[in-house]
Amino acid sequence: MVNFAQGDLMMLGAFVAVTLIGGVGLPWVLGLFLSVLALAVFGYLLDAFVLRRVLGEPQFAIVMLTIGLGFIFRAVAGLVWGYDPQSFPTPYTGKSLRVGEIVVSYENFAILLGTLVLCVVLFLFFRHTRLGIAMQATSQNQLAAYYVGIPVKRVFSLVWAISAGVAAVAGILLAPVSLVQPGMGFIGIKAFAAAVIGGFGSIPGALLGGWIIGIAEQFAGVYLPAGFQEMSAYGILIVALILRPQGLFAQIQRKKV
The residue ranges that bind another protein (CB under 8 A) are 1-2, 50, 53-61, 63-65, 67-72, 74-76, 78-79, 83, 139-143, 146, 182, 189, 192-193, 196, 201, 226-227, 230-231, 234-235, 237-238, 241-242, 245-246, 250-255, 257
Q: Which is nearer to another protein, 100 or 227 (CB)?
A: 227
Minimum distance from residue 84 beta carbon to another protein (Å): 12
- Whole-angstrom Cα distance, residue 205 to residue 126? 14
DSSP type of residue 249: S
Q: Which is nearer to another protein, 90 or 142 (CB)?
A: 142
Which residues pair with residue 105 across a beta bridge? 96
Q: Which is nearer to another protein, 82 or 91 (CB)?
A: 82
Minimum distance from residue 164 beta carbon to another protein (Å): 17
Q: How many CB atoms neighbour CB 53 within 10 A?
A: 12
Cα 84 → chain centroid = 23
Q: Which is nearer to another protein, 116 or 230 (CB)?
A: 230
Q: Which residues contact 89 (CB under 8 A, 6 or more apart)?
A: 21, 22, 28
- Whole-angstrom Cα distance, residue 169 to residue 174? 8
Minimum distance from residue 42 beta carbon to another protein (Å): 16
Q: Which is nearer to another protein, 8 or 107 (CB)?
A: 8
Minimum distance from residue 225 beta carbon to another protein (Å): 8
Q: Which residues contact 80 (CB under 8 A, 6 or more apart)?
A: 15
